[in-house]
Amino acid sequence: MKPLRLTAAGAALALAVLAGAGAGPAHADTPTAAGLLQAGAQQGVADGYPGVIGLVRRGGTTQYVHAGVGNLATRAPADPAATFRIGSNTKAFTATVLLQLEGEQRLSLDDSVAKWLPGAVNANGYDGARITIRQLLNHTSDLPDYAKDAGFSLGYALNLQPDRAWAPQTLVDLGLAQRRPTGAPGQKWSYSNTNYVLAGMVIKAVTGNDTATEVRARIIEPLGLHDTTFPTTDPSLSGNYLHGYEYPVIGIGIRDVSTSDVQAFGPAGAIVSTLDDLTAFSRALVTGRLLAPAQQAELKTTVPVTADGTVGYGLGILHVQLPCGQWAWSHNGAVLGYFSDWYTSDDGSRQVARANNEFHLLAGTKGQQDTGRATADAYCAL
């Protein structure tokens, strides 16, 4: 794939369209799922990543892999138990809250955006009365991505104001100003972080609480995701975490960007988690632990992303046919300094996840391609 200058989650999805617990690190000389993922982690480090961590799970057996370092200053090894910013994997959490609210009959996904957010989408030819909540969640709203705004993108890349406050409506307005509509809502899939900022605004309008509060109460606490947080103001990380790095952009050398703006993406990409917590969430989600049957069916109803039918987008999750022919539910996330992705089988019995600690807002890098291929191969080997 030709590299594209995209910001955060947009770059992640561009790449995604391409194609016993506690066990120690696997070895690359074995043709197992863990061995394939370990080899991919080592190749990722050879490609230039500081560190790569990964997890493979089949049934009740979990294995972890790691390569490189989690902190360039101390040279501490990359720890598969460390926390990291999960970027657009946050979207599945946000979508889950809205699906739960529908199950409680507090809203309908076919409600218009204007019903809950009057005037929020009313500029440059866009009309919130013609866009539904469902179209926000499956990215068929035709709303432009605010992350492609040149000023926003540059400021985020430079990370000069990691504690900058962004009002959600300001981000939406940046998106609406990008271009006029290219089609009617519902006609085609087009990834946009603006959709999920608006989704978070709907959650606030319905519940009176911000998305982080609802995610904690409805998902993090019930599932016991003890290493998962949803920061809303504090941009720093603490405890055992992967340091995130940004390789040279516009003449600036490698930088530690572990502390970065959480309000820049909010409901679209702010959550901090671990491999274990992220896979516990995705397993609970795809197997129906979090949603009533009607909403579970909606979650998994996809719209086409690729013309060949190998990738579809549900509500905050992807359905992907891998090169080996197997299908998996998936998503990935990319924010400054971090790139991660996961695959989960429909019955939750097979899972692969991995993360690395470098992202400089470019999609299609060799490191992304090599580690992404290894993640898919590891899933196919389970």
* pLDDT 10s digits, 167-215: 999 999 999 999 999 999 999 999 999 999 999 999 999 999 999 999 9
* pLDDT 10s digits, 81-136: 999 999 999 999 999 999 999 999 999 999 999 999 999 999 999 999 999 999 99
pLDDT exceeds cutoff 90 at 26: no
Q: Report the chain's mean pLDDT, rounded to a whole number.
A: 92
**Residue 12 contacts residue 88 (beta carbons within 8 Å):** yes
* pLDDT 10s digits, 295-334: 999 999 999 999 999 999 999 999 999 999 999 999 999 9
Q: Is 88 a catalytic residue?
A: yes
Which residue in the list 88, 141, 282, 340 is annotated as catalytic? 88
**Residue 242 contacts residue 62 (beta carbons within 8 Å):** no
Exposure string over 49-82, b if 16+ CB within 10 A, otherwise e? bbbbbbbbbbeeebbbbbbbbbbbeeeebbbbeb
Whole-structure pTM value: 0.94
Both structure tokens of 107: 């809203």
pLDDT exceeds cutoff 50 at 250: yes
DSSP assignment, residue 231?
Answer: -
Please name the fold of domain 4-380: Beta-lactamase (3.40.710)
Q: Which of 44, 3, 14 is nearest to 373 (CA)?
A: 44
pLDDT exceeds cutoff 60 at 29: no
